[in-house]
Amino acid sequence: MNLSARHDELMRQEPRLRIRDAAQRLGTTEAALVALQGGTTLRPDWPALFSALPELGGIMALTRNEHAVHERHGRFEDVSAGPGHILVTGPDIDLRLFTRRWAYAFALAGERPSLQIFDVDGEAVHKIFATEHTDRTAWDRLVQRFMSLAAAAPPPLAVPAAEAKAEALVDAHALRSEWLALRDTHDFFGLLNRHKATRRQAFRLAGEDLALRLAPEAARTTLELAAAREVPIMVFVGNRNAIQIHTGPVKRLLATTGWFNVLDPMFNLHLREAGVAEAWRVVKPTEDGAVTSIELLDAAGETIAMLFGARKPGQAEREDWRRLACDVAEAHAREAAA
């Protein structure tokens, strides 16, 4: 039985199964299943494609990993591109895109048209969905402009899931000293690379004043307190090819089977709570003062999501967010140690 027939049979048995989960069940890639749907293949001119997205008007942008889905409504604005990366820094859609491994793009029609981008392994990178605020004429014009008639087929076999990275020997004193000397949160990635440390390893070694391990339930508590206290936050969700950011309040929270959700008009977050193996309260020094985050890791030590207080570069951290993070740490550090 070929892939198309196997997929049809699976969907007859489980018609509500999401395409990502269907691909895992079938041992194939999500890109291969999307290609079966008969959409339009787009040429992979990523800077030109994203520079054209503001023409579409209102859309919904989606970035996800295995345990979190981040959906943000709004317009593409302030798009800029450089070697291997694209930045979108508008007030609605805020993205950090790393394009070196991007490979496939499709435009799907139907009741909910979408543009879907995948990497060389057939893993979903980023998706853009039409909404009632989308200029459908501009959408059709974009699809025609970027249509490709000679694109390679995506890989039919899924790449095995990555195992936890092996940890090298790290000088904890040197790592802590350099951490304390940070001047920008973005410099943290360089710190990890210089010390050849995984994120989880750095958290364990830095000291509890800089990284305090919390119970996994800290994620839900953080969102609940942010909603109850009306503290605007930043929610980062990404994969190795894209990061998507929401800045603003969270209000409508709903727990469903296996998921904890933010269901606001402009922003949705779906967090698979069972996937959160560790939560950490993390403090990073910057030129603007200490910046505090609640960071969620999966069993392999990969980042699921990061929560910060809403702020812009040059601004000090909000005191209400700092108090909130402190309250979360006090509640859940005791649980983690129990």
Report CA 127 to chain centroid distance, whole Å: 12
What per-residue confidence (pLDDT) applies to 169?
94
Q: Are residues 85 and 226 in the same domain?
A: no
CA distance 238 to 69: 9
Has residue 238 been placed in a domain?
A: yes
Tokens of 67: 């345990």
Q: What is the pLDDT of residue 337?
A: 66
Q: Which secondary-structure segment (H or E) carries 115?
A: strand 114-119
Residue 10 tokens read as 């699976």
pLDDT of residue 98: 98
Per residue of the chain (338 residues), give pLDDT as tens: 689 899 989 899 999 899 999 999 999 999 999 999 888 999 999 999 999 999 999 999 999 999 999 999 999 999 999 999 999 999 999 999 999 999 999 999 988 999 999 999 999 999 999 999 999 999 999 999 999 987 778 888 888 776 777 788 999 999 999 999 999 999 999 999 999 999 999 999 999 999 999 999 999 999 999 999 999 999 999 999 999 999 999 999 999 999 999 999 999 999 999 999 999 999 999 999 999 999 999 999 999 999 999 999 899 999 999 999 999 999 998 766 65
Inside any domain, residue 154: no
The pLDDT value given to residue 162: 67
Residue 88: strand pairing partners = 79, 95
Q: How far is CA 245 from CA 46, 114, 234, in A?
A: 20, 20, 7
158 neighbors 29 (Cβ within 8 angstroms): yes
Say if residue 123 is in the same domain as residue 192: no
40-41 and 57-64 beta bridge pairing: unpaired
Whether residues 192 and 137 share a domain: the answer is no
Mark whether 47 and 126 lie in a shared domain: yes
pLDDT of 45: 96
Q: Element (H or E) spanning 331, and its range?
A: helix 319-337
Cα separation, 142 vs 53, in Å, equals 8
| CATH number of domain containing 84 | 3.40.1570.10
Q: Which residues of 274-311 are buried (b: 16+ CB within 10 A; e: fewer)?
A: ebbbbbbbbbbbbebeebbbbbbbbeebbbbbbbbbbb
Give the torsion sign (CA, 64, 109, 84, 156).
Answer: positive
Say if residue 226 is in the same domain as residue 142: no
Nearest to 30 by CA among 114, 150, 147: 114
Same-domain status, 187 and 315: yes
Same domain, yes or no, for 46 and 133? Answer: yes
- Same domain as 188, residue 52: no
Q: How many domains does the chain have?
A: 2
- Dist CA 75 CA 73 (whole Å): 7
Which amino acid is it at 317? Answer: E
124: containing domain: 3-146
C-alpha 61/C-alpha 76 separation (Å) is 9
pTM: 0.95
The reply to whether 186 falls in a domain is yes
Check whether residue 134 and residue 96 sit in a common domain. yes
Gap between the Cα atoms of 195 and 216, Å rounded: 27
Q: Which of 128, 146, 164 is the last residue of a domain?
A: 146
Same domain for 94 and 180, yes or no, is no
Report the largest interatomic distance among the alpha carbons of the chain, rounded to a whole angstrom. 60
Amino acid (1-letter code) at residue 147: M
Contacts of 277 (CB under 8 A, 6+ apart): 216, 297, 298, 299
Q: How far apart (Å, rounded) are the C-alpha atoms in residues 54 and 64?
A: 22
Give the model's pLDDT for residue 338: 57
* pLDDT score, position 119: 97
| Span between the terminal Cα atoms of the chain, in Å | 52
Residue 135 lies in a domain: yes
Within this chain, do residues 176 and 323 fall inside the same structural domain, yes or no? yes
Residues 17 and 59 grouped into a single domain: yes
Domain annotation covers residue 324: yes
How far apart are the C-alpha atoms of 31 and 131, rounded to whole Å?
Answer: 22
Residue pointed to by tokens 């960071």: 295
